[in-house]
Amino acid sequence: MRRNSFGVLFFLKKNQLLKSGEAPVSMRITVNGQREEIRTKKSINPSLWNQAKECSRGRDRKSRDLNDYIESAQIRLSQLYNEMEQSGKSITAKILRNKFLGMDDEDRKTLIAFFNEHNEQCRKLIGIDYADITVRRYECCSRYLQELIQTKYGEDDLLMKEVKGELVRDFEFYLKTEKRCQQNTVIRYMKCFKKVINLAIANEYISRNPFTGIKFHEVPVNKEFLTMEEVIRISQKEFAMPRLELVRDVFLFSIWTGLAFIDVYNLKQDHIVTDNNRNLWIRKTREKTNNMCNIPLLSTPQQILKKYEGHPVCVERGTLLPVMCNQKYNSYLKEIADLCEINKRLSTHTARYTFASVIALANNVSLSNVAKMLGHSSTRMTQHYAKVLDQSILKDMQKVEQKMKG
């Protein structure tokens, strides 16, 4: 019978210093080459740590307490290992770790691990139940939450039974202060967190809801759109730099089609169809919702598509437009706004709002038809885009004045 190999190592996480400047002390259990780590909830000034002897060289009370803990942990792990080996039980680093922590299957559940399991399942459902951007938001939420846990508790994860309302409030504060998230962005992350907590409650990993009594309020956002004069100004502007010309063309394409950035990014020849009257249409399911968009392809977007036929990026990716990443796209839009003397924040969403408000609704296209072009499941969603334009207000009031004079 082959004898198991066993070892325990204590070391510092020097790359994860706490705000106090101390380094967390971790313990690594190795059985037959397989490792498991435990954050000991102890920390020490790195200058006092003696790695060769795996202890603190300090003489203060904190150093003595740490050294006592290390000695007792080594003795306890050796006892557990010997007991399991003598009884002939299967020994792994994970089993020994859980024995040391005194956890059964239910107690072993941890927040970040459970969160990541949820995210992995969601990623497999992209295109079925989830959009890629939604899954990336969950993954970002999990990452930020782990950063908070590492900063506040000196741990990589928290047991489910340790998740309390305090963590929820700390996470909201962390997003606002450390990540500089705006209120509505904070709420999106908190909704992701809450959904995972609700799943944990449903699985009885958590007995009490940490979100009880905590409410979040969205801030109304004034969504900007361009006037027709501003659209013309952008379209007629000559740019010396090809990258700005490309971004301008993609932006105009979105203004005349209402497609979101990701849908323009993934637009392919298969999405362009010809009806019985030889009219061109964009028929494409939205990446975000999987709802079908039916959009007449007018002359301006047709010219833009023709301009980029055979572009190397289009050929390589099999798409109709050589769209760059969202971050660069939005950054270059700021330059375009400055050069065109437009005092508005241009973004990937501005084009979509402009299409709905200025191109469609201001020209008496019905709300239901706009909803079909935008890929909305109901006109209630489209109403958010139904901006009241100054031109329409002026026209209505001029009619009133004419009636009063008559």
Q: Model-level pTM greater than 0.85?
A: no
For the stretch 57-109, pLDDT in tens is: 999 999 999 999 999 999 999 998 888 888 877 788 888 888 887 765 555 68
Q: What are the tens digits of pLDDT across the range 162-216?
A: 899 999 999 999 999 999 998 989 999 999 999 999 999 988 888 889 999 888 8
Among 381, 126, 134, 392, smallest CA distance to 258 is for 381
What domains does the chain contain, in order, with CATH numbers?
A: 6-101 (no CATH), 111-202 (1.10.150), 228-394 (1.10.443.10)
128 vs 258 pLDDT, higher one: 258
- What is the per-residue pLDDT across 316-369, written as a single tens digit (0 to 9) for each? 999 999 999 888 998 999 999 999 999 998 988 899 889 988 888 888 888 888
Residue with tokens 């241009």: 346
Residue 274 backbone phi and psi in degrees, to 5: -115, 130
Average pLDDT over all residues of the chain: 87
What number of CA atoms fall less than 13 Å from residue 206's CA on the CB side? 23
CA distance 364 to 2: 82
367 to 35, 108, 388: CA distances (angstroms): 61, 53, 13
Q: Dig out the tokens for 230 from the structure.
A: 């501003």
Confidence band of 1 (pLDDT split at 50, 70, 90) = very low
Cβ atoms within 10 Å, residue 367: 16
Residue 371, pLDDT score:
83
